[in-house]
Amino acid sequence: MKSKHRLVWMKWHAYLACFFLPLALLYTLTGTLYMLDIHGGNRDEIQIELTHVQHWPENEMAAYQLASERLPDIYGNISGKYFRFDGGHSWYSFNREVLLLTEKKTLEIHVHGLWKKLIMIHKGHAHIGFWLVGIALGFSLLFSLLSGVVLAYSNPRYRPFANRCMALGSLLLLILYLAPIHQSAL
Q: According to the 3-state scheme, what is the secondary structure of 18-44?
A: HHHHHHHHHHHHHHHHHHCCCCCCEEE
3 state DSSP class of 182: coil
3 state DSSP class of 48: strand
3 state DSSP class of 106: strand
Question: Does the structure show a pLDDT above 60 at 186?
Answer: no
Specify the higher pLDDT residue, 183 or 120. 120
* pLDDT at residue 62, as a whole number: 93
Under DSSP, the state recorded for 75 is G
Report d(CA 135, CA 114) in Å as an integer: 23
Question: Does the structure show a pLDDT above 80 at 9?
Answer: no
Give Cα 79 to chain centroid, integer Å: 19
Compute the chain's Rg from CA coordinates: 24
3 state DSSP class of 51: coil
CA-based angle 73:74:75, to the nearest 5?
90
* pLDDT at residue 184, as a whole number: 59
* pLDDT at residue 185, as a whole number: 52
pLDDT tens column, 29-61 = 988 888 888 888 899 999 999 988 888 898 999
Q: Which residues contact 24 (CB under 8 A, 6 or more apart)?
A: 137, 141
Contact 91, 109 (CB under 8 A): no
pLDDT tens column, 73-97 = 888 899 889 999 998 999 988 889 9
* pLDDT at residue 8, as a whole number: 82
* pLDDT at residue 170, as a whole number: 95
Helix (H), strand (E) at residue 102: none
* pLDDT at residue 182, as a whole number: 66
Share of the chain above pLDDT 70, in %: 97
Summarize the confidence of residues 95-103 as an average pLDDT.
Answer: 92
* pLDDT at residue 106, as a whole number: 94
